[in-house]
Structure 1
Amino acid sequence: MILQAIDYTSPTAQKDFVQSLRDTGFGVLKNHPIQKHLVSAIYQEWQAFFDGETKNDYRYNVGTQDGFFPSDVSETAKGHTQKDIKEYFHYYPWGQCPADKKALLAQYYAEANTLALELLTWVEKHSPVEVAQQYSQPLSSMVEGSDQTLLRVLHYPPLKGDETLGAIRAGAHEDINLLTILPSANEPGLQVKAKDGSWVGVPCDFGTLVVNIGDMLQEASGGYFPSTSHRVINPEGADKTKSRISLPLFLHPKPDVVLSKRHTAGSYLHERLVELGVI
């Protein structure tokens, strides 16, 4: 399996993108509307944030999950015993955020949400009739007006060589939400699990956008769109003294949206957060 970047401006972009999601759980876009300079500026601002001490003034709120999550409370991927080697900040428009960093994040959040809504309409348009009939409402309407969509600023610190045996930057996991939108990070390491069980590197050319299916879209589509395992490894041959910054947007429906006979978005999210050990 090789993940090829799909040209967002191509006349067959919609069909090709949805087919890639169906085949691999991932789609990679180039020539998309999100500007490189905006992403780069956010990486620079937040590198300074994670390098400093004021980050501890923004410790996360347990009830609302907004703010700074230090490495000692980082997630443990489902089925793993070691915590991931990372720290991160959860940004919601209504949540806490350093005043001098809010403007760029708010701009990116708005632009990424607009693109994500468009991609959801692609998915719905190119879903087989029998799959589309399972959606309780149009996919894009599931997230319209949602205050649950999460922008996470992730920092994978430089590796010192004394990490706990078996710990990697992000253990193999699936995302919880509908779609995840991720600008290529500034360092390699993201891998997706192929159907044969092998791990395949995801293109990290700066300027490409990586999109993957989350468990909620898998649930809503009756398994037609697969939520695929992915991980962030400590890359061999790369400069491990470098930080890695990553900026995933997790597209979440409104809590009362019906995903399936088993779950609303709210009940599904709560179940998974308990499994992850963050609530």
Structure 2
Amino acid sequence: MQFPQVNYTDQIAPQLLAEALHNIGFVVLSDHPIDAQLISDVYTEWAEFFNSPTKTLYTFKPEIQAGYFPFQTETAKGYSQPDLKEFFHLYKSHNLPKGMSDRSWQLFQSLINLGEELLSWIESVSPDVVRDNLTMSLEGMIKNSQENLLRILHYPPLTSEYTDGAIRAAAHEDINLITLLPAATATGLQVLDNFGVWHDVPSNLGDIVINVGDMLQLATGGYYRSTTHRVINGESAHISRYSMPMFLHARPEVVLSGTKTAREYLQERLREIGLIK
């Protein structure tokens, strides 16, 4: 499969991006306005955090879902073995760990700004029947949302003790509207095509991977596809891998489809992956 790539500056970028998200649910965006050095600096700061013993001081509380999630906390829907990762949930209403700069907040806001623009692109070129069935504009769904989440992930180097079939992130779909993922520090991300074949997602410094989440699939009646993806152990399993997807979430009261609100849908999915009871 030729993985779709779209240049942000292309005159027909909105059409190309929407077409890719309709067909396979994933696309790589290049030449976007987010500074590559900012992304690199944020990765460096969080690598220091995950390698510090003080990280456990920020362990999350289930009712808040913000903070540090220890290694093997999350299990993908339908799986019995937990993922081989640790991560930190950063919401606008919560604080960074002590001593960190505001670079993470700069990146956070830059990704939201870009995400709002991409959602407006998607809606502007969608078929009339898709736009007419939206309960409100896609960009409006995330406006001032406190649910927007920057998840900073660390996949530690793996040792021979992990022989039970667990992988860095088992096959899953995202919950939110769209995900913006600055290129990870190592390979491993794969996407499942329509024929059940896995394909490596390019991981070139400076690119951002965009993918559809279940909320957008639900809100558009399945027109945009929430595609299954995973992170395999692969050739880079012996080194740390960092990634930081920005999950753009509709505000809790937004009706996605029928009578189902974003809050109801999010709670349902969090229970399925074991982050809340």
Aligned amino acid, residue 46 of structure 1:
W
- The correspondence of residues 52-71 of structure 1 with structure 2, limited to 5 A, is 52-71=52-71
How far residue 12 of structure 1 moved from its aligned partner, in angstroms, is 1.2
- The correspondence of residues 253-268 of structure 1 with structure 2, limited to 5 A, is 253-268=250-265
Residue 99 of structure 1 aligns to a residue in which SS?
Answer: coil
- The correspondence of residues 102-141 of structure 1 with structure 2, limited to 5 A, is 102-141=101-140
1:275 aligns with 2:258: no
Residue 18 of structure 1 aligns to a residue in which SS?
Answer: helix
Aligned amino acid, residue 247 of structure 2:
F
Rounded Cα–Cα distance in structure 1 between residues aligned with 2:256 and 2:98:
36
> What residue is the counterpart of 2:146 in the other structure?
147
> What residue is the counterpart of 1:85 in the other structure?
84
> What residue is the counterpart of 2:95 in the other structure?
96
Contact 1:58/1:97 (<8 A) preserved: no
Rounded Cα–Cα distance in structure 2 between residues aligned with 1:61 and 1:150:
16
Rounded Cα–Cα distance in structure 1 between residues aligned with 2:191 and 2:260:
26
> What residue is the counterpart of 1:17 in the other structure?
17
Aligned amino acid, residue 141 of structure 2:
M
How far residue 99 of structure 1 moved from its aligned partner, in angstroms, is 3.1
Contact 1:58/1:96 (<8 A) preserved: no
- The correspondence of residues 169-188 of structure 1 with structure 2, limited to 5 A, is 169-188=168-187
Query: For 1:201-237, what per-residue CA distance to the aligned partner results, in whole angstroms no more than 9, with x for missing partners?
Result: 11101111000000000000001101000000011xx
Query: For 1:152-203, what per-residue CA distance to the aligned partner results, in whole angstroms no more than 9, with x for missing partners?
Result: 0000000112114110000000000000000010100000000000001111
Report how many aligned residue pairs link the two structures: 276
Contact 1:218/1:224 (<8 A) preserved: yes
Rounded Cα–Cα distance in structure 2 between residues aligned with 1:90 and 1:267:
20
How far residue 4 of structure 1 moved from its aligned partner, in angstroms, is 2.9
- The correspondence of residues 203-218 of structure 1 with structure 2, limited to 5 A, is 203-218=202-217
Query: For 1:87-134, what per-residue CA distance to the aligned partner results, in whole angstroms no more than 9, with x for missing partners?
Result: 000001211321322501110000000000000001100110011111
How far residue 273 of structure 1 moved from its aligned partner, in angstroms, is 0.4
Query: For 1:38-94, what per-residue CA distance to the aligned partner results, in whole angstroms no more than 9, with x for missing partners?
Result: 111111111111111000010112111010000142x11111111000000000121
Rounded Cα–Cα distance in structure 1 between residues aligned with 2:152 and 2:67:
10
Unaligned runs of 5+ in 2: none
Rounded Cα–Cα distance in structure 2 between residues aligned with 1:39 and 1:211:
16
Rounded Cα–Cα distance in structure 1 between residues aligned with 2:160 and 2:193:
29
Aligned amino acid, residue 133 of structure 1:
D
Rounded Cα–Cα distance in structure 1 between residues aligned with 2:149 and 2:143:
14
> What residue is the counterpart of 1:6 in the other structure?
6
How far residue 33 of structure 1 moved from its aligned partner, in angstroms, is 0.7
Rounded Cα–Cα distance in structure 1 between residues aligned with 2:130 and 2:230:
28
Contact 1:5/1:208 (<8 A) preserved: no
Contact 1:18/1:27 (<8 A) preserved: no
- When normalised by structure 1's length, the TM-score is 0.97
> What residue is the counterpart of 2:230 in the other structure?
231
Unaligned runs of 5+ in 1: none
Aligned amino acid, residue 117 of structure 2:
E
> What residue is the counterpart of 1:165 in the other structure?
164
- When normalised by structure 2's length, the TM-score is 0.98
1:29 aligns with 2:20: no
**Could you say what the CA RMSD is over the residues aligned between the two structures, in angstroms?**
1.0
How far residue 262 of structure 1 moved from its aligned partner, in angstroms, is 4.4
Rounded Cα–Cα distance in structure 1 between residues aligned with 2:210 and 2:18:
11
Aligned amino acid, residue 171 of structure 1:
A
Rounded Cα–Cα distance in structure 2 between residues aligned with 1:141 and 1:186:
32
